[in-house]
Amino acid sequence: MVLEELFSAELYRELFNNDFNIGYAMGAGLVIGLLILLLVVRVVLRLLFRRHRCGSIVVPDAGGELIISSEAVETAARSVLEDFPELAVHRIRLYRQGKSYQLLLHCAFVGGGKGLPETSGEIRPRLIETLEKMFGIRSLRKVQFRIDALEAGAAPEIQPPAVPVSKPASPVSGEC
């Protein structure tokens, strides 16, 4: 009985019998329609621009294509990362986004005097250069670090900021 009253035409005639109610319903419908449209656009963009995990990198060559496996890329990356004891790399993942590739390094930060920004600033160019020289990979655009853990002994030394010492303020004369 209640559902029949809710979906009856008489109820809707009463609700929309004046201009205010019609305008209110149109505004609410517009807002709901825009929210649904934005949700659909977001889903479509996520599907188009997501990054895909891949098992190899295809490098164009004069005689065809070179296919380099992710294991070979991981081995080359680990050879570069051996020079950096500040990071203990657990896992290396290769992703493709469009026509470019990304490396994601899952690691633990061990420390050892250097901070992560300095260490990552040294690793990125060396890693990209090594992969380009070794395999001819020019499509590697990003090297991302994901710090999963902070190893024992990696606590940074906290130092006060360097503030220049200035002379103390002189007292103001008695005239006001």
Q: Looking at 18-27, 111-120, 154-163, which range is the least confident one?
A: 154-163
pTM above 0.85, yes or no: no
pLDDT at 163: 59
Residue 128 pLDDT > 80, yes or no?
A: yes
90-123 burial code (b ≥16 CB/10 A, e <16): eebbbbbeeeebbbbbebebbbeebebeebbeeb
DSSP string, 127-172: HHHHHHHHH----EEEEEEEEEEE-TT-PPPP--------PPPPPP
Which CATH fold would you assign to the domain 52-150? Answer: Alpha-Beta Plaits (3.30.70)
